[in-house]
Structure 1
Amino acid sequence: MTRITRHYVDVPLPDGQRRRVHYRMAGSGPPLLMVHQSPRNSGEYAPLMERWADHFTCIAPDTPGFGQSDPLPDIADINDFADALVDLMDALGLPACPAYGFHSGGIILVTALKRYPERFTGLAIGGYAIWTPQEMAVFGQSYLPPFQPSAYGEHLVWLWNRILEQSWFFPWFDVRDAARLPGAHADVARVDMAVREMLDAGDAYRAGYGAVLRAARDIPPPDAATPPVLISAYDGDPLQTHIDRLGDMPALWRAQKCATPADHQALSLDFLRALPQAAAVTPVQTADAGFVGIDTGDFCGLIHWRGDPGAGVLRLHAPGEELAAVPPAALAIDLPGHGLSDGWAGAAPTLWAPWQKVIDAVAGHFGIGDIRLPDTPKGDPALLFPDLSPDRYGTHLIRAWQIVRARHFFVPHHAVGAAQAIAFDPVHITPDYLAREHRALLRATAARALCEALNTR
């Protein structure tokens, strides 16, 4: 299977600061830039990257404010997102190359192509929205309500149902038979993935999503000289009917309806491969954060790290947590099945030796001799870290929120009583603080196993 790697790059800002961007990469050969839809992140392209990596070096960034990329510093419109994309290409050292985008990713790319035609050899776009004034009036502010965490997790109930029902109705809040979509589903894995992506973006999703919804849909005139563009949309895509709204386009642009997502991807790949290609490049990445590939036999995958690689000190987080602010002169990692690191291929080990092998491999990679182990949580691992597998009704989200809130009041959190009460910092029970811990716990699929393994040291 093609290996997808993950990286960070810092993009300079006009004020001298830097905006950190996370991106995925796979394959070899000429570069292909891939821009995801909102409010998703580059992870949605993982299956496509694995297939297209035979032809390209696929580079898929998280757009500003989504995934693990910093948001833009100011309130932005679509031109700012297009400019940010080209600034990222500069930071990565990408020459003019082909690009692919789906839905709002296509809006960003078309805007970037109009502003910087010399930076692209062509675009393949999956669905291009041409909203009528009446449709935009329906969207209004209802499509992008504020998304702020609440003290008792009420926001999670809304989020689960909003993501679930967006495959039932379009727009998601228009609950009428006339607004039903043909591809309605209750696929727990798909809904949970999109929910987690929204949790990562937080309220910043409104900036990125709002920019593409408000963007002008001014297709260049027929006599415009631009690189080639293919726009295609498959049966069941809400934007397929918009193919008929595109009107006259430049000579090198074409639009096509097709039957299935696979047909759309095949059309796009053939089109992209026929475009002028750039020479292979090695994209730039930051020196103080990233992902390192580790293979110990028991574990094979990427380990997320941040800090000073030359510090000589490796700090490890506790079960159910992830790397946080890294103190000076230290490097921290997310252990397997935690944070942004990959999980174990099978069941996470409950003995310490396999975990120690991963830690030693990371320490050896960076030449670190001082390893700081976490404290072992007090309590029964099965009760400390119950099963939080996603379920049809999203109750795992609420269970996780109750855990991270209760553990600030009692140790262990599952034993509520005067004897277990602990002092707490009011800052630690603010919704924003709990939201960070909640995301970490949801990502910690190996928390119970790590807790049990620590007990065997």
Structure 2
Amino acid sequence: MIRITRHYVDVPQADGSQRRVHYRQAGSGPPLLMIHQSPRNSGEYGPLMERWGEHFTCIAPDTPGFGQSDPLPGTPEIGDFADALVATMDALGLPPCPAYGFHSGGIILVTALKRHPERFTGLAIGGYAIWTPEEMALFGERYLPPFEPSSYGEHLVWLWNRMLEQSWFFPWFDVRDAARLPGAHADVARIDMAVREMLDSGAAYRAGYGAVLRAARDIPPADAVTPAVLISAYDGDPLQAHIDRLGDMPAQWSAVKCASPADHQALSLDFLKRLPQAGSPVPNQSGDAGFFPVETPEFSGLIHWDGDPDSGVLYLHAPGEELQRGTTRALAIDLPDHGLSDRWPGKAPTDWAPWQRVIDAVAAHFALTDIRLPDVPVGDAEQLFPDLAPDRYGTHLIRAWQIVRARHFFRPHHAVGAGNAIAFDPDAIRPECLAGEHRALLRAGAARAYYQAIIDR
């Protein structure tokens, strides 16, 4: 099976700063750039990268403001996202190569192709939107409402239902029988994944998604000479009808309707394989953050790290938490089933030895001799870290929010009373601060096991 690795690359900015981009990589052979749709991240291409990695070195960055990539400043437009993509290609050290994008990922790629045709050998696009003025006005008014965390987690109720019903109606807020979609579902895992992706983006989702919706849909004129482009859309895709709106296209461009997602992917792969290819790349990556592969008898996966690899010091986070980006004079990691690190392959261990073996593997790789254990609360493990598995109605989101809020007032959080009251910093309970703690707790699938292990070690 082809393994997906994860990395960061730092993209230089005009003001001398750097913008961090997170990307996934899989396979071998010539490079293929893969740009996800909004408001998703590169993780949506995981299964596709495992298949297409037989033919390409698949490189899928999170676009700015999505996943784990830094947002662009101000109010960027589609040209800014296209230029940022090319700047990311430069930072990675990629030669001109083919690229694949779905929906809004395709809009970014077509814009980048028009602005920087020399950087691409061709594009395969899954659905290309050509909105009418009336549709644009409708989307502009309601499609991208502000998304900010609220003190008591009210934003989570809206978010769960918005992601639930986006497969029921298109657009999601048009609750009419005429707007129903044929593929309606209530798949808890899919909804929860989409919710987590939105939580990662936060308010930045409006910048990236809005730029795509506002983008001019100006297909190059029929006599234009550009790299080849294939646009395809399958039955059930809301953008399949837009194939008929494309109009005249350059001779190197084509657009087809197909029956299924599998047909669209097969058409795209065949097209991409016939484009001019470059040699196998070795993409650049950041030197102060990344993902280290760890192999122990109990764990096989990627461990997320951030900080100074030469510090000699390793910080471990508490159960239910995660590393803090930008750790100075030390290196920090997300332990398995926490933060951005991979999960334990089976049930998370409650004895300390397997956790220690993961820690030792990281420490040995980076020559870290000073390992700092976290402070942990004392309390009942099941109450400290209750089951937060996603449920059909999204109540796990509210439970997690209540926990991280109560942590600031009582220790342990579940023992509410004068005897357990603790001093708190008012700034720390601002919704934007709680939002980060909330994401960390939701990611911490092994919080209870880690707590039991560290308490009993």
Bin of the TM-score, shorter chain as denominator length: over 0.9
Query: TM-score, structure 1 length as denominator?
Result: 0.99
Indicate the SS of the match to 1:332: strand
Say whether the 8 Å CA contact 1:326–1:332 is kept in structure 2. Answer: no
Q: Which amino acid aligns with 1:29?
A: G
Query: Is 1:363 the equivalent of 2:363?
Result: yes
Residue aligning to 1:119: 119
Query: Is 1:346 the equivalent of 2:346?
Result: yes
Q: Aligned pair count?
A: 457
The Cα offsets for residues 307-365 of structure 1, whole Å up to 9 and x where unpaired, read as 00010000000000000145432000000000000010000000000000000000001
Equivalent-residue separation in structure 1 for 2:316 and 2:409 (angstroms):
24
Residue aligning to 2:80: 80
Relative to 1, partners in 2 of residues 1:206 and 1:394: Cα closer, same or farther, differing over 3 Å?
same
Query: How much has 1:244 moved relative to structure 2?
Result: 0.5
Indicate the SS of the match to 2:142: coil
After superposing on structure 2, the runs of 4+ consecutive aligned residues of structure 1 that deviate more than 4 Å are none
Equivalent-residue separation in structure 2 for 1:325 and 1:334 (angstroms):
11
Equivalent-residue separation in structure 2 for 1:327 and 1:31 (angstroms):
33
Q: Which amino acid aligns with 1:447?
A: A
Query: Is 1:314 the equivalent of 2:282?
Result: no
Relative to 1, partners in 2 of residues 1:346 and 1:73: Cα closer, same or farther, differing over 3 Å?
same
Indicate the SS of the match to 1:427: helix
Q: Which amino acid aligns with 1:200?
A: D
Equivalent-residue separation in structure 1 for 2:95 and 2:76 (angstroms):
25
Equivalent-residue separation in structure 1 for 2:211 and 2:326 (angstroms):
33
Residue aligning to 1:217: 217
The Cα offsets for residues 135-170 of structure 1, whole Å up to 9 and x where unpaired, read as 112212210000000000000000000011011001
Equivalent-residue separation in structure 2 for 1:257 and 1:328 (angstroms):
53
Residue aligning to 1:180: 180
Query: Is 1:283 the equivalent of 2:286?
Result: no
Indicate the SS of the match to 2:256: strand
Indicate the SS of the match to 1:220: coil
Query: Which runs of no fewer than 5 residues in structure 1 stay unpaired?
Result: none
Q: How does 1:298-309 map to 2 (within 5 A)?
A: 298-309=298-309
Equivalent-residue separation in structure 2 for 1:308 and 1:271 (angstroms):
43
Equivalent-residue separation in structure 2 for 1:377 and 1:54 (angstroms):
48
Residue aligning to 1:37: 37
Query: Is 1:107 the equivalent of 2:95?
Result: no
Indicate the SS of the match to 1:441: helix
Say whether the 8 Å CA contact 1:377–1:451 is kept in structure 2. Answer: no
Indicate the SS of the match to 1:455: helix
Equivalent-residue separation in structure 2 for 1:416 and 1:444 (angstroms):
23
Indicate the SS of the match to 1:232: strand
Q: Which amino acid aligns with 1:341?
A: S
Q: How does 1:106-185 map to 2 (within 5 A)?
A: 106-185=106-185
Query: Is 1:95 the equivalent of 2:103?
Result: no
Aligned-residue sequence identity (percent) comes to 79
Q: Which amino acid aligns with 2:120?
A: F
The Cα offsets for residues 80-135 of structure 1, whole Å up to 9 and x where unpaired, read as 00000000000000000000000000000000001111110000000000001111
Which is worse superposed, 374-383 or 86-95? 374-383
Residue aligning to 1:62: 62
Query: TM-score, structure 2 length as denominator?
Result: 0.99
The Cα offsets for residues 420-457 of structure 1, whole Å up to 9 and x where unpaired, read as 11111101111001000000000000000000001221
Residue aligning to 1:196: 196
Equivalent-residue separation in structure 1 for 2:366 and 2:45 (angstroms):
30
Query: How much has 1:288 moved relative to structure 2?
Result: 0.3
Query: How much has 1:74 moved relative to structure 2?
Result: 2.3
Indicate the SS of the match to 2:376: coil
Say whether the 8 Å CA contact 2:306–2:327 is kept in structure 1. Answer: no
Query: Which runs of no fewer than 5 residues in structure 2 stay unpaired?
Result: none
Equivalent-residue separation in structure 1 for 2:318 and 2:63 (angstroms):
30
Query: How much has 1:418 moved relative to structure 2?
Result: 0.9
Indicate the SS of the match to 1:306: strand
Residue aligning to 1:446: 446
Residue aligning to 2:246: 246
Q: RMSD of the alignment, in Å?
A: 0.7
Residue aligning to 1:227: 227
Equivalent-residue separation in structure 1 for 2:271 and 2:160 (angstroms):
37
Q: Which amino acid aligns with 1:290?
A: G
Say whether the 8 Å CA contact 2:26–2:50 is kept in structure 1. Answer: yes
The Cα offsets for residues 56-89 of structure 1, whole Å up to 9 and x where unpaired, read as 0000000000000000122110000000000000
Say whether the 8 Å CA contact 1:379–1:412 is kept in structure 2. Answer: yes
Residue aligning to 1:292: 292
Equivalent-residue separation in structure 2 for 1:140 and 1:294 (angstroms):
46
Query: How much has 1:264 moved relative to structure 2?
Result: 0.4
